[in-house]
Amino acid sequence: MDTDRKEAGFVGLGLMGAPMAANLLKAGWAVSAWNRSPAALEEFEARGGVRVGGVEELRDAPVIIFMLPDLSYIEDAAAGLLASWSANPPAAGTALVVMSSVSPAAVQEFGARVARTSGGNAVVVDAPVSGGTTGAVEGTLAIMAGAGEEDFQRLVPLFNALGSTVRRLGPLGAGSLAKACNQLIVGTTTAALAEAAELADRSGLDVTALYDVLAGGLAGSRVLDIVGPRLAAKDYEPTGPAKFMHKDLSFVIESAAAAGAAVPMASAGVGLYAELLRQGLGDKDLAVVRQAVANLSDAAGDDTTAATTAGTK
């Protein structure tokens, strides 16, 4: 991959992808992008980016970033690109960078398929990010990469335009495993904070005051700092849909089974976020797990009342 060209393709201008692409433009990269909905592309063009009509038009870019919800979306979007590479292989060293949260095992399979389809000229790198929309806008994302050392080093200038913490964790799949570990901590910590908020609120405590004092002790965390205010205010306007946490924790379960590791917290988290989806809350912000807990509390209270009423008859 010729990083001196500072050219990149970008697929997926959503809540995270749009500010990430904007930061590449700010850093002097020539970025061409595809997105399913045109509104994001109009804003991208206004920032100096180039719109393409299909992902296959990015075939000659030295690096193509995908920021879509899951690997199945990436495989669908890249179908025409891979068909083009099969007929006419890309330049040696072309990098297809998956920055979404995906299955560690599935991204390795995808990497093998891309290598075969491209005649060995293209490599897949998984480099999922953490930091939310704030980190995406400010260019302070944590980037967890799975790649060979040489491929990683070629991509470091691009990653530095997007994040402030960039690490190679190992070969392809290692970045996605690191992101799964990240989501295990974020998802279960957010759930614990939601439970604490409901317990405190229903017991007459002020949730904001509780979080303030927790932040000064061992319970303080980045999750509390960032998600805590939304939990306390019951602000569920999406900065990142809660439904993706169920997907990400499922990757933890999958990886743990492969490694022979026990993950009781992840198992509990998968169950809670599955309940959140059943309640129809998946498109709201991750903080909506508090509403899911509240709904469970109300249902438990109704069951207790019904049982007590029945017992007095």
**Residues with catalytic roles:** 179
Query: What CA–CA distance (Å, rounded) separates 241 from 148?
Result: 32
Please name the residues in contact with 98: beta carbons below 8 A apart, sequence gap of 6 or more.
66, 71, 74, 107, 110, 124, 125, 126, 127, 128, 176
Instruction: Give CA separation, 145 vs 51, 124, 172, 179, 250, in Å.
Output: 27, 11, 8, 9, 20
Query: Residue written as tokens 């083009």?
Result: 84
- Annotate the chain with DSSP letters as a single string: --GGG-EEEEE--STTHHHHHHHHHHTT-EEEEE-SSHHHHHHHHHTT-EE-SSGGGGTT-SEEEE--SSHHHHHHHTHHHHHHHHHS---TTEEEEE-S---HHHHHHHHHHHHHHTTT-EEEEE--EESHHHHHHHT-EEEEEES-HHHHHHHHHHHHTTEEEEEEEESTTHHHHHHHHHHHHHHHHHHHHHHHHHHHHHTT--HHHHHHHHHTSTT--HHHHHHHHHHHHT----SSBTHHHHHHHHHHHHHHHHHT---HHHHHHHHHHHHHHHTT-TTSBGGGHHHHHHHHHHHHHHHHHHHHHHHH-
Q: Which two tokens stand for residue 267?
A: 């198992």
Q: Which two tokens stand for residue 20?
A: 């990430």
